[in-house]
Amino acid sequence: MRYMLVKTYTQAAHCDLPIHEWAPEDVEAHIAFQRALGEQLAASGELVDAQGLAGPDQALVVMSDGRTAPVVTDGPFPESKEFLAGYWVVDVDSQDRAIEIAAQASAAPGPGGAPIGEYIEVRQVMSAPASEQ
């Protein structure tokens, strides 16, 4: 079963300091943790894809009616400080395993090495219905 583990940055987690304000050694430790987690999941054959995402200040929103040129705007601009920071797609045997990986990712180190307790949303990737031939 494939699951997408969505990493959401929010100041409501255990760390309310944006990563761009962390000490360089804390950023390095956090990135090293993320790389090690990716390598561990790749070695076990569970990793499908994982990416960090640019901040919302670099995001664009596209809307199209399919007939005219698309409308492209800056954004999104959420009311809160919460934004999508990255994701993993894993192929695992059970939802319990996806939750284990999410818990490991949630405990990534932050300032001073303390676990930051990021919110990780676990969502099963749905398959398209089988087409009749």
Determine the topology of domain 2-124 in CATH: Alpha-Beta Plaits (3.30.70)
pLDDT mean values, one per 10 residues, the chain (133 residues): 89 73 94 96 97 84 92 71 85 97 94 90 88 69
Helix (H) or strand (E) holding 121: strand 119-124
The three-class DSSP label of residue 108 is: coil
Which pLDDT score is estimated for 130?
76
Which pLDDT score is estimated for 14?
73
Residues 6+ apart with CB under 8 A from 90: 2, 3, 5, 41, 46, 47, 48, 97, 98, 101
Cα 123 from Cα 117, distance rounded (Å): 18
Cα 38 from Cα 51, distance rounded (Å): 10
Which pLDDT score is estimated for 53?
87
